Amino acid sequence: MAHTTITAQLYKQGKSHQWLADRMNVTPGTIARWMRGTRPLHLSTMRQCADLLLCEPSDLWPELRLPIDWEHRYDVLTERIQELDYRRDYNEFQRLCSQRAAASVHIYTAMQRTTEKSQNQ
């Protein structure tokens, strides 16, 4: 399953397996073993891979069923937006801003629920 989802995320972003391997500081062979499921991964490695692909670990490894850490996702997106030259890649800039806006809505909604719970107690 991870093979398809990692490949799909890379394709969607116009990135290659080599790009991911370079950023993860591993060989393309290691990426291939992750994709085949023959190499165990630590959660921190899964998180790093997902951060690079701007998704959640559970998007790449659905069997994890981890809750989404929206604050972390917001921070990662903010970092990527700041690194981006929006004049050269405006479409990517818009996509990242849209994802960050969605993350902020989730954070706000969670804060509202927490506030309502504390007021009802």
pTM of the model as a whole: 0.64
Q: How many angstroms separate the CA atoms of 54 and 36, rounded?
A: 21
46 contact partners, CB below 8 Å, separation of at least 6: 57, 60, 61, 64
pLDDT digit string, tens, across residues 7-59: 888 888 889 999 999 999 999 888 888 877 777 778 888 889 989 998 888 88
pLDDT above 50 (res 65): yes
Q: How many angstroms separate the CA atoms of 104 and 118, rounded?
A: 21
* Fold category of 2-64 in CATH: 434 Repressor (Amino-terminal Domain) (1.10.260)
Residue 97 CB: number of other CB atoms within 10 A? 15
Give the H or E element holding residue 93.
helix 90-120
